[in-house]
Structure 1
Amino acid sequence: MSDIPRRSTARTAKLASIPLGIAGRAAMGFGKKLAGADGDAIDAQLTTKAAEQLFSVLGELKGGAMKLGQALSVMEAAVPEEFAEPYREALTKLQAEAPPLPAKQVYRVLDQQLGTRWRERFADFDDTPTASASIGQVHRAVWSDGREVAVKVQYPGADEALRADLKTLSRFAGVFASTLAGTDVKPILDELSARTEEELDYRIEADNQRAFAKTFAGDPKFVVPRVVASAPKVVVTEWMTATPLSEIITRGTIEQRNTAGALLAEFHFVSPARAGLLHCDPHPGNFMLDDDGRLGIIDFGATAPMPNGLPPVLGRMVRLNLEERYDELTELLRDNGFVLPGRTVTDQEIADYLRPFTDPIRTESFHFTRAWLQKAAGTATDFSSARFRTARALNLPPEYLMIFRVLLGSVGICAQLDAYAPYMRILTQWLPGFTEDDTGLESLDGA
């Protein structure tokens, strides 16, 4: 790959090829069925071809296109098994890989960001990237003081491409949702758009990582590499040698899966409480398990400030749901903007809608599986179901969108891990508003 495709017309044409390709193949498949070909075999072939094209294009374009692919990959476990297999390899690959930027292009960025004598700051620099993702790629190097470091370099033109992609992808949201069954793409795109500018400035990412590293320095459960140097398009951090969660998902031991799942579930509740920040990019490429059993966390470009921790209203909702106090829960949902104005939902409808999602907090340790997630997601997205009709009356306030995406992403990874996690203990310890004696619930009256 010589450079990230920048021209808006060229990128739009690439993205437009996805729905056009899907439509063309569907028409051909329909013709073959009319001619007497096996319908199931044709459907399977169409699914495979759609997956190959979708994630080939998303990976090649990088930018917002690839970020969408990574966001979708988190919920791969929710896709029904008969559709999931063709997507799984492509989705997993998108979590950490993409065609690399040539060395001469990398040198040009380093010249601009660290100065033309940047090599003097390194004892060694590997020209071959160890990972390449949506807007940048990572090189392994040795800092001048002997420390092994990771050098994250932003692709030239990534800023233009990211903004253009997110606008274009929004027009195709319905097509992508139909291609990857059971996934609502529009909120993901809206959220990605809102955080674009922050992710493009690596100095902001470096500051976020410094805050996390300071909070979890010496922690027995979590480890965050320290920042060594930063610039707008380059960030240098300490190197961390550990096993990526993507590898544990495919061939990890039962102990590794359970340890990783439990720590991941806990991290997204602990960090707002302790660091006042929420890590907002939950996919397996950003987490790894150290040999000492700690969860390693990287990539802090997408981070939301939460100086007061997670909202106590959220904990109160979970508690009322757990105790089946649905009259109070329905009122709380209305008061805090979770029901669309003018819509009516009954206590029973809320109870029926939420019941499949409450399993993790009804036991001391819950087994997150693909089958469970597929069932929960499937009933919520069945157009003919009563739960789907209820969902159309519900609303997700903007201030909760990031939180729900992260927590759902965490659950999705736990399901991919096939892990047990002590969700009840985690919520009791870290979720404000969950315990009856919790204070700070001033917002419960809608104020």
Structure 2
Amino acid sequence: MADIPRRATHRTAKLASLPLGVAGRLAAGWGKRLTGQNPAEISAEVSAKTAEQLFAVLGQLKGGAMKFGQALSVFEAAVPDEMAGPYREALTKLQSAAPPMPASSVHRVLDEQLGRAWRKRFAEFDDTPAAAASIGQVHRATWHDGREVAVKVQYPGADEALRSDLRQLMRFSRLFQSLAPGAEVKPLLAELQDRMVEELDYRTEADNQRAFAKVFHGDDDVRVPAVVASAPKVVVTEWVTGKPYARIIADGDRAERDAAGRLLAEFHYSAPARVGLLHADPHPGNFMLLPDGKLGVIDFGAVSRLPDGLPPTFGRMIRLALEDRPAELLDLLRAERFVQGDREIQAEDVLAYLAPFVDPARTPTFHFTRRWLQRQAERVGDLRSPDFRTGRSLNLPPDYLLIHRVTLGATGILCQLDAEVGARDIIASWQPGFSD
């Protein structure tokens, strides 16, 4: 255990290197401007190099740093095309890779969590990890009854690392703003901090997954692997094999993209009504298209508890915007505490600001594209635009924060997929308040 302080110092040093590297590139950028080079090209170059360094560092860490990077990864679709290359490459690595834990450490955790006779519970166990999660890694194995299973084992010291990473990242939150234009990064970090204790106990994750698996058992469109066994730092679930969404994003054909998009949108909107829970970790590593055409969903560490389903306020907002009733929309936003204090705000400006949530419901089928999302990000992120001023006057009540973030995250994946989806019918079927 003597190496834990050294590892913590190493992690802190890596995270602390981020602002220093950014400061150096900004200084170099100013130097190039003084010599007459194009400011837009310089800004793109600085942003791209910042992305490379940021995700190179985050990718070498586990815990909160990797979790934060995964949470940001769905916003990659909003990054302008001329600087998206480094983001895309680094984010793809974050979604699926981390330094592996040695087999001896894995065995020690299994001894502690499943008992020293844990090997008798498995017919086979592969010591080489099949995948990495933010606070653990996954091993493929065969259960004693012959079932293929996934064994998620938490990294020793993950709890301390998670807290340390998030404390450090809160200090540097301004550096990450360019990765999610128009989004508030600090509330995202605060939300991750609030939920980390719950996610550290795999028994809670197992309970969440059991609830989803029970409801979706035998479903025509969704498969949630059954939980086989669980402990505070180990969870064993049925193994599922499919084409990960990251691969569909990279090289999927039109049929795959549209099918993947439809399944994800349906799952996102229907789960709160069907399960009373919202899967709250939307990044491509948690979804796959199975050989039978179903959506495979994994990783239920983060959920939002919605026993009454999605709140009807969101549905009413979309409906009022679609029906071009700005005054009523503004009244609703004030009543539900979406407008800060007594801020003066124009009803028509609010109507324009809500486009990312309203546009997909305007037509029977909507084409989610990176360019569409980039335009939305540019509008709300431009200091000179009315949308930026509108955003400064709006407030997201804490009880809506997670739903908002997950909806934006799911939208980001749909845009990465370049999917054409009949979103209006899905919203009408599952979003309370939309058809009332």
Q: Same fold (TM over 0.5)?
A: yes
Cα offsets for 1:213-254 (capped at 9, x unmatched): 000000001100000000000000000011110111101111
Distance 1:327 1:40 in 2: 39
Does residue 247 (structure 1) correspond to residue 254 (structure 2)? The answer is: no
After the TM superposition, which residues 33-182 of structure 1 pair with which residues of structure 2 at under 5 Å, given as runs?
33-34=33-34, 43-178=43-178, 181-182=181-182
Question: How is 1:285-364 mapped onto 2 (pairs within 5 angstroms)?
Answer: 285-355=285-355, 357-364=357-364
1:321, 1:197 → 2: CA distance? 38
Distance 1:64 1:320, change over 3 A: same
**Structure 2 partner of 1:401:** 401
Tell whether the 8 Å contact from 2:181 to 2:380 is kept in structure 1 after alignment. no
1:237 paired to 2:237 = yes
1:5 and 1:11 in contact (8 A); partners too: no
Identify the residue that residue 439 of structure 1 maps to in structure 2.
none
Match of 2:196 in 1: 196
Moved more, 179-188 or 342-351: 179-188
* 2:75–2:180 contact (8 Å) kept in structure 1: no
SS at match of 1:435: coil
For the structure 1 residues 433 and 183, does the alpha-carbon distance in structure 2 shift closer, same or farther, using more than 3 Å as the test? closer
Instruction: Measure how far apart 1:32 and its partner are.
Output: 4.6
Number of residue pairs matched by the alignment? 435
Using a 3 Å threshold, how does the CA distance of structure 1 residues 241 and 249 change in structure 2: closer, same or farther?
same
SS of the counterpart of 1:195?
Answer: helix
Q: Say if 2:61 and 2:98, in contact at 8 Å, map to a contact too.
A: no
**Deviation, structure 1 residue 210:** 0.3
Distance 1:344 1:182 in 2: 20
1:354: Cα distance to partner?
2.3
1:186 is paired with a residue whose SS is helix
Moved more, 182-191 or 138-147: 182-191
Report what 1:372 is aligned to: 372
Q: Distance in 2 between the 1:208 and 1:354 partners?
A: 32
| Deviation larger for 170-179 or 118-127 | 170-179
CA distance in 2, matches of 1:325, 1:34: 50
The one-letter amino acid of 1:24's match is G
**Aligned AA (2:136):** G
Q: Distance in 2 between matches of 1:41 and 1:336?
A: 43
Structure 1 counterpart of 2:21: 21
- Structure 1 residues 132-141 or 23-32, which shifts more? 23-32
What code does the residue aligned with 2:26 have?
A
Q: Which amino acid aligns with 1:400?
A: Y
Report the Cα distance in structure 2 between the residues aligned to 1:367 and 1:177, rounded to whole angstroms: 26
Structure 1 position 186, deviation (Å): 1.1
| Cα deviations by residue, 1:49-85 (Å, 9 ceiling, x for unpaired) | 3222211211212110111100110110011112211
Q: Secondary structure at the match of 2:255?
A: helix
1:337 maps to a residue whose letter is: R
Separation in structure 2 between the aligned mates of residue 395 and residue 259 of structure 1, nearest angstrom:
35
Match of 1:271? Answer: 271
CA shift, 1:34, in A, is 3.9
Structure 1 residues 197 and 184, CA gap change in structure 2 (3 angstroms): same
Which letter maps to 1:54? L
Q: Which amino acid aligns with 1:149?
A: V
**TM-superposed deviation, 1:392:** 0.5
CA distance in structure 2 between the partners assigned to 1:234 and 1:223 by the alignment: 21
Stretch moving more, 98-107 or 33-42: 33-42
Q: Distance in 2 between the 1:53 and 1:404 partners? A: 29
Q: Using the alignment, how far apart are the partners of 2:52 and 2:133 within structure 1?
A: 18
Q: Distance in 2 between matches of 1:81 and 1:415?
A: 13
Identity of aligned residues (%): 63
Aligned to 2:209: 209
SS of the counterpart of 1:338?
A: coil
Q: Give the match's secondary structure for 2:278.
A: strand
User: Displacement of 1:357 after TM fit?
Assistant: 4.3
Range with bigger deviation, 415-424 or 314-323: 314-323
1:298 CA displacement: 0.3
The question of whether the paired residues in 2 share the 8 Å contact of 1:72 and 1:183 is answered with no
Partner residue in 2 for 1:423: 423
Instruction: Give 1:10 deviation, angstroms.
Output: 3.6
CA RMSD of aligned residues (A): 1.9
SS of the residue 1:95 aligns to:
helix
CA contact under 8 A between 1:47 and 1:86: conserved in structure 2? no
| Aligned AA (2:171) | R
Q: Deviations over 1:95-141 (max 9, x none)?
A: 12111111111111111111111111111111111111210110000
Partner of 1:440: none
Conserved? CA contact 1:69–1:91, under 8 Å? yes
Whole-angstrom distance in 1 between the partners of 2:6 and 2:314: 41
Query: Per-residue deviation at 1:14?
Result: 1.6
Could you tell me how far apart the structure 1 residues matched to 2:5 and 2:91 are? 21
| Contact 1:151-1:237 at 8 Å conserved across structures | yes
Deviation at 1:163, TM superposition (A): 1.1
Q: Summarize the Cα distance change of 1:335–1:255 in structure 2 as closer, same or farther, 3 Å threshold.
A: same
Query: Deviation of residue 30 (structure 1)?
Result: 3.1
Q: CA separation in 2, counterparts of 1:161 and 1:364?
A: 46
- Distance, in Å, in 2 between the alignment partners of 1:83 and 1:98 is 24
Q: Distance in 1 between matches of 2:435 and 2:4?
A: 50
**Following TM superposition, by how much is the alpha carbon of 1:13 offset from its aligned partner in structure 2, in angstroms?**
2.3
User: 3-state SS of the aligned residue for 1:324?
Assistant: coil
Distance in 1 between residues matched to 2:67 and 2:45, nearest whole Å: 26
Change (3 A) 1:98 1:8: closer
Quick one: distance in 1 between partners of 2:429 and 2:219? Answer: 17
Task: State the one-letter code of the partner of 2:282.
Answer: P
Structure 1 residue matching 2:382: 3-state secondary structure: coil
**CA gap 1:39/1:305 in 2 versus in 1, 3 angstroms:** closer
| CA distance in structure 1 between the aligned counterparts of 2:6 and 2:399, rounded to whole angstroms | 32
Structure 1 unaligned residues grouped into runs of 5+: 437-447
| Greater alpha carbon shift after TM alignment, 304-313 vs 280-289 | 304-313
Mapping of residues 385-396 of structure 1, within 5 Å: 385-396=385-396
C-alpha spacing 1:74/1:355, structure 2 compared with 1 (3 Å): closer
In structure 2, how many angstroms separate the alpha carbons of the residues matched to 1:63 and 1:21?
22
TM-aligned CA deviation for residue 28 of structure 1: 2.9
SS of aligned partner of 1:124: strand
| 3-state SS in 2 of match to 1:123 | strand
